[in-house]
Amino acid sequence: MLNIEGRTIKVLIANRGEIAIRIIRAAKLLGFKTVAVYSSADKNSLHVAMADEAIQIGPANAVDSYLKQNAILVAAEITNSDAIHPGYGFLSENAEFAEKVEATGRIFIGPSSTTIGNMGDKAMARKLMSAAGVPIVSGSENFFNDVETGLEQAQKIGYPIMLKSVAGGGGKGMRLIQDQENFKELFELAQNEIMSSVGDNRMYIEKFVVNPRHIEVQVLGDGAGNAIVLGERDCTIQSHHQKVVEEAPSNILDNKTRQEMLSVSLTATKMMKYRSAGTFEFLYQGPSNYYFMEMNTRIQVEHAISEEVSGIDLVTAQLQLASGTKLDQIIIGAKHKYAIEARVSAKSAGEIKGLHIPGGLGIRIETALYQGYTISPHYDAMILKIIASGTCREEALKRLQIAIEETVILGVETNLDLLMRIINHPDYISNENKTNIDWLDNMLKK
């Protein structure tokens, strides 16, 4: 625990961009000192300017900077940091890194390395979830990194199958494979993609669930068996398995299934004695017909919409729990009945030559952009999140439509036009279950 007598707690943020800024703000709220790490490409980034200290950890490519465990551990030692917050992506779900942090006597702001390892081991995760009464979809029993083993596993499970990377996230290292003929080619594409991103070539297979919605449950645990659920998010609007628009709660989800999902997620969280924020991801096909996909042992990109509807600041809660605060002492603020988030992505690198960010009642912006900032080609394409809240879905959606209309980003290409197409599409507006996880990709083919 971060109970340090006689001096101010110092937290190193092992990340970049908007999530690094989000963590810095939460740390400052609690009176903690902050340390930013950065690559050579990020020396002029906002998170570097906002932190109390900053230290360069490597060149532009992530493998030699944000993914370089020893560089981050040395930075923590040099700056005498008490804790490391990994954010999302990069090393956030790397059990080996969490274990190394723990071995130094520092606090890893997140679950224990054992929990991360168990949830990262898909076979173990499925076993634990099954024991907790969570419905699971059929899949491979073990990881593999060669085509031959993959082919054998796929044959046992039956096509179509979803090939996934153990270390994947945001759709990276994931491919839908319809038959044996295309397995080798798609396997190599997925494995090469994830290797260039995180350097881990382990893969696994799940039976493909046709036309589901993507529903996830946000949980918070204190590591002692106490936990709460903060409701669900509907993350169905995706392109190539990358989430684009998310909302909370899900108006499509029937109440009986909602209660089942929340209940099994709470039971599993307590059973694991989970610490920090976490997310259970499910594929939903209809009333009481849903399957566990995975548990994300980190803060999610889309955590803001859960914060809006629950009134709980999840990042601050992570820091508080690491400091020994009890769950019932977590502060609950203003709540909204509905929230929708749109992810703005850059389609090209370059300098931001003009920028206007919307504001007003019910609008929240998460970004690291500023006019004159140069977007690097080395990292994730998401550059800004627009979160709209309201008393109902219709009000939140209208606020989001206005906010996207007002957003101006000059100098680089973005997906703002696509976001407007999505949130103005009759299928999306109707809220009558006319979308699924393949809806957006199918729409873009027309």
Among residues 423, 385, 217, 215, the alpha carbon closest in space to that of 301 is found at: 385
From the list 291, 358, 285, 277, the residue with the least C-alpha distance to 319 is 277
Marked catalytic residue, from 213, 275, 298, 393:
298
Tell me the two tokens of residue 73: 């551990």
Q: Is the dihedral of CA 183, 124, 132, 224 positive or negative?
A: negative
CB-count exposure of residue 176 (10 Å: 0-12, 13-18, 19+)? middle
> Which secondary-structure segment (H or E) carries 446?
none
Residues listed for the chain: 446
Helix (H, G, I), strand (E, B) or coil at 39: strand
298 carries an active-site annotation: yes
**From CA 389, how far away is CA 398, in angstroms rounded?**
10
Q: Distance of CA 269 to CAs 146, 223, 273, 293, 406, Å?
A: 33, 9, 6, 15, 41
Residues forming beta bridges with residue 367, ordered by sequence position: 384
Between CA 192 and CA 200 the distance in angstroms is 10
Question: Per the omega criterion (within 30 degrees of 0), is the bond before 249 cis?
Answer: yes
List residues bridging with 108 in a β-sheet.
Answer: 84
- Rounded Cα distance between 272 and 289, Å, is 24
- CA-CA distance, 434 to 35, in Å (whole number)? 46
Alpha-carbon span 224 to 275, nearest angstrom:
8
Distance in angstroms (rounded) separating the CA atoms of residues 100 and 3:
20
Sign of CA dihedral 302, 76, 59, 54: positive
Contact 94, 261 (CB under 8 A): no
Distance (Å) of CA 36 to CA 62, 101, 228, 339, 372: 15, 16, 31, 30, 21
Structure tokens that stand for 287 in this block: 């009333």
With the C-alpha atoms ordered 382, 206, 277, 64, is the resulting torsion angle positive or negative?
Answer: negative
Distance CA 50, CA 46 (A): 6
Q: Which residues are catalytic?
A: 298
